[in-house]
Amino acid sequence: MISVNDRLPSAQFQHMENGEMKTTSTEELFAGKKVVMFAVPGAFTPTCSEAHLPGFVANADKIKAKGVDSIICVSVNDAFVMSAWGKSQNAEELIMLADGGAEFHEAAGLSMDTGTFGGVRAVRYSMIVEDGVVTQLNVEAPKEFKVSDAETVLAQL
């Protein structure tokens, strides 16, 4: 599993921009920037929709006021699902990224296999990344939501 002081693995992500699917790289997203990124096991799932994403939406201004260039929500879903979920959650201040094939999460050691429930997914976590290097990493134990919330990230910034 990736650790504090490690560089993020190189990967491609998809997102929707002006109605079109775009592909972007880890390097484009993180080079020369301070970024908060958090992952959820699945868009539209209960804890993700009721607590995890809403916390970052509600605290986006406070997080950015701490010198953060962008806040990224990522999941092993497709870009269309991530875009629709972001719209339904009023997440205009966040970048809603898809790691559709789990390329990034498997390379970072932040994936889990949920079997017939949904296959390979991201574990629930949050991280602070500066110029592509992880400076804080908060990985949840299975089926928990205690350390990857927006309030924890705010306290770490």
**pLDDT of 114-128, one tens digit each?**
888 788 999 999 999
Two tokens, residue 82: 């991530």
How many CB atoms lie under 10 A from the CB of residue 51?
Answer: 13
In the residue annotation, 73 being an active-site residue is answered as: no
Write down the pLDDT at residue 96: 98
Q: Assign 84 to helix, strand or coil.
A: helix
Instruction: Give which of 134, 110, 116, 136 is closest to 39, Cα–Cα.
Output: 110
Alpha-carbon span 157 to 154, nearest angstrom: 5
115's CB contacts (< 8 A; 6+ apart) are none
**Can you list the domains of the chain with their CATH numbers?**
12-156 (3.40.30.10)
DSSP 8-state secondary structure symbol assigned to residue 116: G
Confidence of residue 93 (pLDDT cuts 50, 70, 90): very high
User: pTM, whole model, 2 decimals?
Assistant: 0.96
Percent of the chain with pLDDT over 90: 92
Cβ pair 123, 111 in contact under 8 A: yes
Range scoring the smallest mean pLDDT among 19-23, 116-120, 137-141: 116-120
Catalytic residue among 29, 35, 48, 98: 48
**pLDDT of 52-81, one tens digit each?**
999 999 999 999 999 999 999 999 999 999
